[in-house]
A and B are shown apart, each in its own frame.
Chain A
Amino acid sequence: MATGFFTSRRVARRAGKGRGAALYVGAALLGLFVGGAILAPLITWHDPLTTNSAILNATPSWSHPLGTDYLGRDMLSRVLYGGRTTLLAVGIGVVGSAAIGIPLGLVAGYFRGPVEIVVVAVCDALLAIPSLVLALAIAFVLGPSVATISLALVVVKIPYFARITRGETIALKKRPFTELSVVAGCSAPRLLFKHLLPNMRTVLLVQAAVVGSHGILVTASLSFLGLGIPPPHPSWGGMLKKAVPYLEIAPWQAFVPGVVIFLAVLSFNLLADAKRGES
């Protein structure tokens, strides 16, 4: 870090420490959510769909650590099983948009010409429609389901990968090692995937974390609006929506899913911050 106006060694050290903490906290949070989703049946014996009219809107207790909802369903098990669908959709969204967007960006940035014009125009158009609005339109067309959410996330997030990959490719193309590889007779696919792609690893990982964070928000928003995971299946957004009428008598029902969504978004944001610091 350059020393200058407001800098000091203490500041530099502190900034480095902050990034390390961001990585650990982010990874720990995400690990907690993934672990909870996978091990859900081992963590709670309650079924997320079983209603129980004897314990409607129950406060947290030993048998129901996060309380029950307006139908007497266990909140903890709904959070855990809701996490399964959310993380599945977000995982497919991140992997799918990267798998399509990165090759598009590589080709557009390396070969330029008409391919680039088309890729950039479609990306710009998709980016001008807010992610959530486009996802809503896709949900409208395909009907609410986990598959719809995953597909919507893939479509909405392709430009995020395509644009940044294109920019990186254009920048890397001017570097001597690229020219050297071309002179050495390296084929275009080999150059793109073996030489250029590894050099943008950090940038793409940051982007993946950003897309993951948006993905959680979009998935939860869709379910909150009643266009995501169809009830009675648990979803974080749906739990929050159903808690609103009971806000006065059972505020924890809104608090639990709200905090869960917040922490899930935070975990991806922290990972993005930590990776961003590396580049």
Chain B
Amino acid sequence: MTGYVLRRLGAALGLLVVISIITFVLTHVVLGDPVQLILGGQGSFATQDQFDALRTELGFDQPLYHQYVTWISGLLTGDLGDSYTLPMSVSGAISSALPVTLELAVLGTIYYVTLGVTVGLLSARRRGTRLDTVASTASTLFQAVPYFALAVALIYVGSIVLGIFPPSGYVPFTEDPLGNLHHMVLPVIAVGTPFAGVIARFTRGIVLEEMEKEHVKAARAKGVSSTRVLLNHGLRNASIPLMTTIGMNTGVLMGGAVVVEEVFAMPGIGSLLVHSILGRDLLVVQSTVLYISVVVIAVNLAVDLLHGLGDPRMRVAA
């Protein structure tokens, strides 16, 4: 197991290095001169001296590998310099935004897994009935729902028509737990619903596949009820591929969170990214992209390790 853990960790670290290089190349080589970006292009009123001074101050006159090393060591020590557009440091901005996004992602995952697995199990149990048809159709439709369109629809129904939920904003959990959850309801539904469809179909398929196997026939022959077989044999064996799917969905979910945060004006990492892109805040953009990838890789690493823990075959295969 130790060897497996070390190999997975090494792979994750390697992946992060490749991502950091891609991000750096994109923002430094493709983008061209960041100082021009900050002070404004051709029509800028800044003098050549001011350009040069800012270039030296921000370290853009250094060779590229030097800038890369500075950025990476900043990421490791937490000192990334100051944001150009916000009155705080880059790491300060990211560390205050990250919990908001993580909460949205965790609650969204709990919501879509609960809903999806329940619906999937129900349609597997009642396969071929009207309930199954309705559930399958609903799953197909759910999967096609765009987060931001759903978010706008939820604001319309939940805030304007019914007036139950706040249309935007965020309250930290530590200040007001109930208010926090109240603000979270609509965003969580918006970010999770498309995945509930994915998980429902996945659960149904994998559970039904499991039902064809010998151990299920043996259990049925012994007289175990079909509901128990479904839960103890079907769902249990489906849990590992289900977890892998949830891990793979994390990336897409984080992408969805970016848009949903923007709709609900939540001060998360997505809003930070969008605003720093509009404000051309280079340092925040490149660090935010990297941090989002760190979350995605960490979740998938955790899934892999759990998988290895539960299934010894995994440790040899990968």
Contact = CB atoms under 8 A, between A and B. Distances in A.
Interface string A255-279: 0011101110110011001000000
B144 interface: yes
A132 B194 CA distance: 16
B133 A129 contact: no
A2 interface: yes
A183 interface: no
Interface string A148-163: 0000000000000000
15 contacts: A7-B127, A14-B128, A18-B136, A129-B19, A129-B251, A132-B256, A133-B254, A133-B273, A133-B293, A141-B26, A221-B259, A244-B263, A254-B149, A257-B149, A258-B152
B134 interface: no
Contact of B144 (A240, A244, A269): A269
Say which size band chain A's interface belongs to: 35 or more
Nearest to B286: A137
A93 interface: no
Interface stretch (A38-46, A50-58, A120-128, A194-202): A120-128
Interface in A42-76: none
A141 B31 contact: yes
Interface string B248-260: 0001101110110
Interface of A: 2, 4-8, 10-11, 14, 18, 22, 121-122, 124-134, 136-142, 213, 217, 220-221, 224-227, 237, 240, 243-244, 247-248, 251, 254, 257-259, 261-263, 265-266, 269-270, 273
A121 B259 contact: no
Interface of B: 14-15, 18-19, 22-23, 26-27, 30-31, 124-125, 127-128, 133, 136, 140-141, 143-149, 152-153, 155-156, 160, 208, 211-212, 216-217, 220, 226, 251-252, 254-256, 258-259, 262-263, 273-274, 277-278, 280, 285-286, 289, 292-293, 296-297, 300
Contacts of B143: 269
> Which of B26, B125, B286 has the most chain A CB within a 10 Å cutoff?
B26
B259 A130 contact: no
A18 B140 CA distance: 11
Contact of B146 (A14, A244, A262, A273): A262
Contact of B289 (A129, A227, A265): A129
Contacts of A5: 208, 211-212, 216-217, 220, 226
